[in-house]
A and B are shown apart, each in its own frame.
Chain A
Amino acid sequence: MIAYNKTWLANLRLQDEVEIDVQQGNITPDEFIAIQPKYLVGFYTPNLFVRIGLFLLTCVIVLFGDGMLSLMAASGHIVDGFGWLFFLGLLSYAGLEIIVNNNNHYRSGVDDASLFITQCLFIAGFAIMLSKNDGDSHYLSLSGLIFLLTLYFSIRFTDMLSAAIACISFFALIFFTWTKIVPGLSTVPFVMMLVTGGVYWLAQICGNRKELINYNTSLTIVKLVSLLAFYASGNYYIIQTLSAEMTGKTDPVPFGMIFWIWTILLPFAYIAFGIKKKDAVLLRVGLLLIATAVITFRTYYHVLPVDTALTIAGTLVLGIVYGVTKYLKTPKHGFTRAEPDTINSLDHLKIESLIVAETISHAPTAPVNDGVKFGGGDFGGGGSSGDF
């Protein structure tokens, strides 16, 4: 099912694992060099910069290729319909299969770009095909089709982005199906909680299965998305806004108390489970959602002015950080505050310096008085945009 060579994928995992031990000094570089030919990886996987460059160039090729084909076919009136988009999508898909099977590209930028464009073309085609129906009724079939499409691509190419879209469209599919079958909206949040929780549980189980090891990264993304959706399906603000939009009335939400408890307490539950199970995804999502919970609460109840709230929250967070740092001075209960000793492929110091420059470089700016100001000059981006 997977388009990539499975032995090579396994060997790649092996090499990655050994490389960590090389960096930690447990294995000598000579041994690593000896291991490489034995466990050969035949993929073409260049470094990040090459990948970005190849991604951009592939997009240029496909863009102009599709443009030229459309222009050539324009006289025959076949370009107007959605079928043409499917045709172009099939062409890029064929290109993708050739690149992956014959040239052994794996995460090289070329396959990333063609996969991305193929899916975009198909999704646009579906959207145009179904939008002929009146009203919102086509959302149901649209989300179903997108789900099937992205599911196929995430299974075949173990792609993280496809997996994320597949997961989201699946939730959308359930949502639209349920609202169509069952009248009234009061049951929807509970169904969504069940479904999103179920998907997380499934992803958790699948992540431990040996035969699915190639999908590890995709499953992590699925877990992330379903955790967020699990929270969203009980979040008071989301429920209230959605039901107001779909019924046109701004009534208070039924079972409001349950959803308030859900909104406030679930992030802490995530964090607690994350710490208990040492699960980085749960822990980080929990930390992120605390901010969401606070914002949700503040949209309905203005308890404190912003400045005092920020000051108190800042002091609180700094206090917690200080406490945790002190507590973990020596590692306790399997937790440490030390940096993980795997070296990042990018020297993070340089990246950090660029981020610093982007965020805090608004130095006192002197007003520039150099004549008349014209409109912004527009150029850049492919070298082709401004000319037509």
Chain B
Amino acid sequence: MTNNLYNKLHAEGLISDESFEKIRQKEAEPVLFSLHWEIKTLLYIGVLMLTGGLGLLIYENIDTIGHEFVLMLIAAICLGCFYYCFNNKRPFSKDRVQSPNSYFDYILLLACTSLLIFVGYLQFEYKVFGTHYGMATFIPMLALFFVAYCFDHLGILSMAIANLAVWMGVSVTPKQLLLESDFNSETIIYTYLVLGIILIAAAYITQSTAFKKHFKFSYQHYGIHVAYIAMLAGYFHYYDSGIAAVWMLGIFALSYFIYKDAFKEKSFYFLLLVVLYSYIAVSSLFVRMCIGIRDVAAFYIIALYFMGTAAYLIVLLINLNRKIKAS
């Protein structure tokens, strides 16, 4: 059937003889059925089951095995993996470095996870850092950032960012952000704001110094979510005082800034985030205005507002998408 298609395209003069010959050759070869994803998934499940089973075995027999042995085992895994990675890594470069083989990334991931478990175990069982909880997260964080840059691994970078957040006393991944966070505390809101600004700043330093440019996405992704959520939380926290206006202004300033950048980078993902978060902000202002009207008419106005603005936003998104594609 494919052959018919290309015969037709060739007859219509849309495909050159050279390309047609290539297609012919490709079709002469047998089609290979790729088991790549099946193998990878099975590998992942196998590792999970094995580590889970061994972990349970150790957990149930901890009295006879002893903590020292477990710690040594984890340390051995960690060191072994790092040894492998350092021996097989490609030379450092300021740009993206491809990993030497498909298992390298996973081994590095195992090394970093076991490092975190090791430090956590040490702190939990022996209180190595005493009550300096900051140190217990600060040291792994430095190590993770170093590993992420040294081996050029985006996954580890995300782990490092999450650790930075933990060190500052908050969590950063979107799921935990919404599940566990407690936005009624002022310190938490300010911590989030500082974290968001640090991350966005890191994104721009990455960009302007052209040092590991592809890391920008991770920094900006976490930075934008955290900063927006912190500022919206700040706005609702100081809802009744005048400071709320400052938070609102902050949101609009950030939106303007990210909007410009998203256009420059042609990133529709960030543009969508800007539009949706700003929409939440504007809508909350509007609802606040309407809620003063103690009448059923307020609901009509709000419903009309949402229908109208949402329809407008649909048109806006479609046009922005065209503009980004065209530019």
Interface residues of A (CB under 8 A from B): 14, 17-18, 21, 24-28, 31, 34-35, 38, 44, 46-47, 49-50, 52-54, 56-58, 60-61, 63-65, 67-68, 71, 110, 278, 280, 283-284, 287, 306-318, 320-321, 324-325, 328, 331, 334-340, 349-350, 352-354, 356-358, 360-361, 363-368, 370-371, 373-377, 379-380, 382-384, 386-387
Contact = CB atoms under 8 A, between A and B. Distances in A.
A132 B48 CA distance: 49
B236 A60 contact: no
Nearest to A356: B155
B159 A360 contact: yes
B43 to A, nearest CB: 5
B55 to A, nearest CB: 8
Contacts of B30: 334
20 contacts: A17-B2, A46-B318, A47-B321, A53-B276, A60-B306, A71-B300, A110-B314, A307-B56, A308-B53, A314-B53, A315-B46, A334-B32, A334-B33, A337-B35, A338-B34, A353-B154, A356-B159, A379-B183, A379-B232, A380-B178
Contacts of A47: 268, 321
State which size class the interface on B falls in: 35 or more
B52 A377 contact: no
A49 B269 contact: yes
B158 A34 contact: no
A363 B159 contact: yes
Nearest to B312: A57
Contacts of A58: 310, 314
B303 A65 contact: yes
Given A307-B60, A310-B52, A363-B159, A321 B109 contact: no
Interface stretch (B76-84, B87-95, B134-142, B205-213): B134-142
Given A324-B39, A361-B162, A364-B137, A337 B34 contact: yes
Contact of A336 (B26, B34, B57): B34
Given A307-B56, A356-B158, A65 B307 contact: yes
A208 to B, nearest CB: 11
A302 B104 CA distance: 38
A18 B23 CA distance: 10
Given A71-B299, A364-B137, A57 B56 contact: no
B66 interface: no
A68 B137 CA distance: 52
Nearest to B144: A363
B31 A54 contact: no
Contacts of B307: 60-61, 64-65, 68
B252 to A, nearest CB: 15
Contact of B287 (A287, A337, A360, A384): A384
B162 A363 contact: yes
B72 interface: no
B155 A377 contact: no
Interface in B249-296: 268-269, 272, 275-276, 279-281, 283-284, 287, 291, 296
B299 to A, nearest CB: 6
